[in-house]
Amino acid sequence: MNIIRSPPPSTINATVFHRRLSKTTTFPLFRFFSSGTSFTFCRTKFADFQCKALTKVNKKDLLQDSELPILDENQDNAIKKYVKSIKSIFSSLDDGAISASAYDTACVALIKADDSTQSGPQFPSCLEWIVNHQLPDGSWGETLMFSASDRLVGTLACVIALTTWKIHPEKCKRGLRFVEENISKLEDESEEHKTHGLELLFPSLVEQARELDIKVLDDSPVLEELYKRREVKLLKIPKEKIYKTPTIMLYSLEGIKDWDWEKILKHQSENGSIVYSTTATSFTYMQTKDQKCLTFLTNLVDKFKGGVPHVYPVDLFEQIWMVDRLQRLGIDRYFRSEIKECTDYIYRYWDEQGLGFSRYCNLRDIDDTCMGFRILRTHGYPVSPDVLRDFEKDGEFVCYPGQSAEAVTAMFNLYRSSQVLFPGEKILDDAKKFSRNFLTEKRLINNFRDKWLITKDLSGEVAYALDVPWYASLPRLEARYYVEQYGGEDDIWLGKTYFRMPNVSNNYYLDMARLDYNHCQTIHQLEWSKFQKWYAHLNIKESSNTSLLWSYYEATATIFEPERCNERFTWAKTNVLVNTITSFFANPQYSNTDIQAFVNEFTNVQHHEKKGKPWQVMLDALHETLNEISLSTMKAHGVDIYPHLHSIWKKWLLNLQKGVGVVQGEAELIVKTIILVSGLCSSEEPFSHPQYQRLSSATNDLCHQISHMENRTINLGIESKMQELVQLVLSDSPNDLDFISKGTFLAVAKTFYYRAFIDPETINQHIDKVLFQKVIW
């Protein structure tokens, strides 16, 4: 048996984990994860729970039984501080946190006072912000990262604003010098990382500057090229089409001349903005004096104290991406109620047209729509993928209708979302094929530059998604990779300017995820040591060809929470015993008669005699393990599950008599055992539920087919059955099973898919990374 030897576990923080029980003990909820997402479920309280045996269990007893560590006091306090900080972010969620834009602040600063008695600016605080935020090199723009396009647009806009109001000529000179010295750098900046609408906005700014007698960029070849590109872009979408249907061109309308402003106002959002764009709204106001536009701008300037963002609100964008980041980092379990409020909020504004940046936005995009769809579907909300039809034409998908070039992140998120499809959802199947092909081509040429986001390791995120599909993605595996890929507060988002989303890209999330992962890993390493001792104690020969480490890894990568050690151990032990028994009787020297004798011995405990039979060690191991599992469940939950464990094992062993090559029921055996050990049911009554029977049948059939798959080729039949199982788990039906029990089936099925899809060498690499490589800070 090839086993990766673990390094000596750290004993620095090795104290003892134990559960404190009271009359209203809250038992750990079950959750299962996927690539880029997780499913979380409500806790179950047993209000009248009483057990005399449990009241006598003390810390010393549990130390002897579990030998499991918990956080030391310092780690515990550190995680509590992170949890408190992140919960405070949730509690303060409003319309979104977003950084200020020098360009948009300058455009709003141009608005003259809405008072005939005054000739000054309507928003003097915007001018004050400009004065206070010039950078040492004379420019204005994003401070964390230099971008020629972002700095040039922001700087020239600020110079125009200051010149318009005839203030701070020295700052204007420094700004103009920056523009002259850095315009050539636009040629070196990648197209993907240039600010959006640059070919419209920068020429327009130059024209405004010249109207103010500002001498700027005479005979600049870079500027001439931008003029040419502007003409090409303006020919693509006629204005009449824009008047009828809002497009991304409205977002940069200030860079286009000769609008019919009354028709533009028909696209005004409920909050008074024009497609949630600050500058588009300010220019519309300057042309129309529309009071709803002014109200929007006034509220925005007041809220941000002068330095306004380029778009607002960003409430849906913020909450969708917050949930996604926390789930992928593996720390969402600390924020279940907060995430539930977010998903309820997202669903409140979901409709057949999809989603945009905010609840007010009438310009929907595929990025927010598909991510919202994915989060809502995986949390059990009834949503249809038909919303994607507005973003598809002739088999191709775009972020905004009318776009000609697509971005890596938009297709990455479309690909992730397309994998949660139900049977018959052709639009998702088409989206999956298109986005996978798009990402594969980008991978082949190693070009992951994105027009929406500059992040730490987008190539790594894409590689993981392509190599480990959602059906095979185990939660701790995804978290281990993403904790290294996530950029935290260094992430920069791209729009008309560069901007930051502090509640999405946040170092609190990253640092907490690192601490939490390393703590859990320390526990898992100590458990692995104990698990090997358990196996050695059984005295089962290695020739049985069981994979001890793989069994522990699959269970741990799915059920990783420290307090769920019993469920994790039980899953791994069950898997080892099933593999051992199956492997043993697969030997040609044993017949069905031997299998029947083994089953009879197991069933008739009272007549069990040790007569040196070849399978005696296995039978003893099975009895001993079931007793251990029952005892640990009794201590934890005060429930005797032994009769039920014996019954479900008897059912599986009777199926084994049909032949080792055709036996089914392993998946159901694991699922039932997990549910029983979790303490969520004390009888087999839930197992007779019609929906349970449907799930059980679907899972057993699926996992049996996966186990007998050849050459690691996932055929259409298996894909179809996975889709059916996903639909059974994520869809509600009358008198349905609880979400916890349903989710267990998919969690177990995904480990079967993982084992079949991923090659052994890669699995060993995953095991090493997940269980034995600490996250480096």
Q: What long-range pairs does 120-128 form, CB within 8 A, spacing at least 24?
A: 120/165, 121/165, 122/294, 123/297, 123/298, 123/301, 123/306, 125/301, 125/305, 125/306, 126/161, 126/301, 126/306, 126/307, 126/308, 127/161, 127/162, 127/165, 127/167, 127/306, 128/306
Question: What per-residue confidence (pLDDT) applies to 540?
Answer: 84
Indicate left, alpha or beta for 523 from its phi (over 0: left) and psi (-120 to 50: alpha): alpha
Instruction: State the Cα angle at 235 between 245 and 239, rounded to 5°.
Output: 30
Nearest in space to 517 (alpha carbons), one of 331, 686, 372: 331
Mean pLDDT, contiguous 10-residue spans, the chain (777 residues): 36 30 33 36 31 31 44 82 97 97 98 80 97 98 96 98 97 97 95 95 97 91 95 88 89 94 94 95 97 97 98 97 98 97 97 92 93 97 95 90 81 98 97 97 96 96 98 98 97 97 97 97 96 91 67 97 95 94 87 88 71 84 95 94 94 84 85 91 76 93 88 84 96 82 94 95 96 95
From the list 276, 270, 273, 295, the residue with the least C-alpha distance to 284 is 273
Please give the DSSP secondary-structure letter assigned to residue 330: T
Nearest-angstrom CA–CA distance, 681 and 675:
7
Residues 6 or more apart whose Cβ sits within 8 Å of residue 449: 190, 192, 193, 408
Q: How far apart are CA 683 and CA 478, in angstroms?
A: 34
Decide: 257 and 200 in contact? Cβ < 8 Å.
Answer: no
- Count CB-CB contacts under 10 A for residue 606: 4
Length reported for the chain: 777
Backbone angles phi, psi at 34, to 5 degrees: -150, 180
| pTM confidence score | 0.89
25 neighbors 569 (Cβ within 8 angstroms): no
Q: What string of DSSP letters covers 157-178?
A: HHHHHHHHTT--HHHHHHHHHH
Ordered domains of the chain (ranges, CATH): 26-30+37-81+511-772 (1.10.600.10), 102-304 (1.50.10.160), 313-510 (1.50.10.130)
Rounded Cα distance, 461 and 328, in Å: 11
pLDDT at position 42: 35
Q: How high is the pLDDT of residue 286?
A: 97
**In terms of Cα–Cα distance, which of 584, 590, 572 is closest to 545?**
584
CB atoms within 10 A of CB 521: 22
pLDDT given at position 686: 76
> What residue has token string 């390094």?
7
